[in-house]
Amino acid sequence: MDTPAVKLTSGYWIPALGLGTWHLRGEECVTAMRTALGMGYKHIDTADMYGNQAEIGRAMAGYDRSDIFVTSKVWRDDLHYDDVVRVGEAILRDLQTDYLDLLLIHWPNRSVPLRETFGALEQLVEQGRVRSVGVSNFDVALLKAAIQATDLPLTNNQVEFHPLLRQQELLAFCKQHDITLTAYCPLGRGAVLSNEVIVNLAGEYGKSPAQVSLRWLIQQGTIVIPKAGSEDHMRENMAIFDFEISPDDTQVIDRIEDKHHVVALDP
């Protein structure tokens, strides 16, 4: 089954399921990428600070570039104008590609004016090096500032989001402003998989806890990027478009009391 896609305000489409690649390095990364692309993953999430873009570039080389949606991110120490342009070009070189589908500000840095960073992103968009831009780890206040800082459509905010961390206020704001929300750590790096509510629902639906978590996220309207190193996990995470969690069971998940942050808010 083809992965559904979501339209960005830039006019481009982003597949609703992608492969997370944090912690995939070296030959393990090349092998995992080839496995994922071979089974039909069409959306890859990476970042300059993951140190794996050259490996991803090697694995993508055998594929039609236009079939793959690649997201990368500029780290918070590189948000001055010249640094964004330099890192943007380095990312393209490493990935062996002429353009990035989506480039995100990886993490806010209050000591660099957002206008300066977006000025550089605007240049990369004008040159056709980047198709869509967005942010990551931005709360509502920062999103409001980002909207004011650029004429570019702010297409995406990538944040931690899973059944144990339901950022409903942020999601509502994003929907109101046509900003897509990508849920990172969609399995809570494993924490979701042992939650009793999720495990029970998985049993009822004949699905795995990972599939219930990802399906719930898709039904929230988010984009999911589970990281998987093994072929079995990759395949399992793709099989989430053939079932639906009922409204009643959605409410059961919405009432889970655990609050679980995987990623520290201010690294």
Q: How many residues bind ligand NAP (CB under 6 A)?
A: 28
Paired residues of 224 in beta bridges: 17, 183
Among 129, 131, 166, 189, binds ligand NAP (CB under 6 A): 189
* 194 lies in the binding site for ligand NAP (CB under 6 A): no
46 near 56, Cβ under 8 Å? yes
C-alpha 103/C-alpha 62 separation (Å) is: 23
**Pairing outcome for strands 19-20 and 5-7:** unpaired
Residue 50 appears among annotated catalytic residues = yes
What's the token pair of residue 211? 């599939």
* Interacting residues with ligand NAP between 63 and 92 (CB under 6 A): none
**Pairing outcome for strands 13-15 and 5-7:** antiparallel
Among 237, 238, 240, 245, binds ligand NAP (CB under 6 A): 237
Among 10, 15, 17, 22, binds ligand NAP (CB under 6 A): 22
Find where tokens 């988010």 sit.
222
The active-site residue out of 12, 41, 50, 99 is 50
| CB of residue 19 to ligand NAP, shortest distance in Å | 8
Residue type, position 89, single letter: E
* 146 lies in the binding site for ligand NAP (CB under 6 A): no
Q: What is the DSSP string of 39-67?
A: HT--EEE--GGGS-HHHHHHHHTTS-GGG
> Residue 68 or 126: which CB sits closer to ligand NAP?
68
The four Cα atoms 82, 141, 147, 130 give a dihedral, to 10 degrees, of: 50
* 117 lies in the binding site for ligand NAP (CB under 6 A): no
* 225 lies in the binding site for ligand NAP (CB under 6 A): yes
C-alpha 58/C-alpha 14 separation (Å) is: 22
* 45 lies in the binding site for ligand NAP (CB under 6 A): yes
* 102 lies in the binding site for ligand NAP (CB under 6 A): no
Which residues of the chain form contacts with ligand NAP (CB under 6 A)?
Answer: 20-22, 45, 106, 136-137, 158, 184-190, 193, 208, 210, 225-230, 233, 236-237, 263
Please list the active-site residues.
50
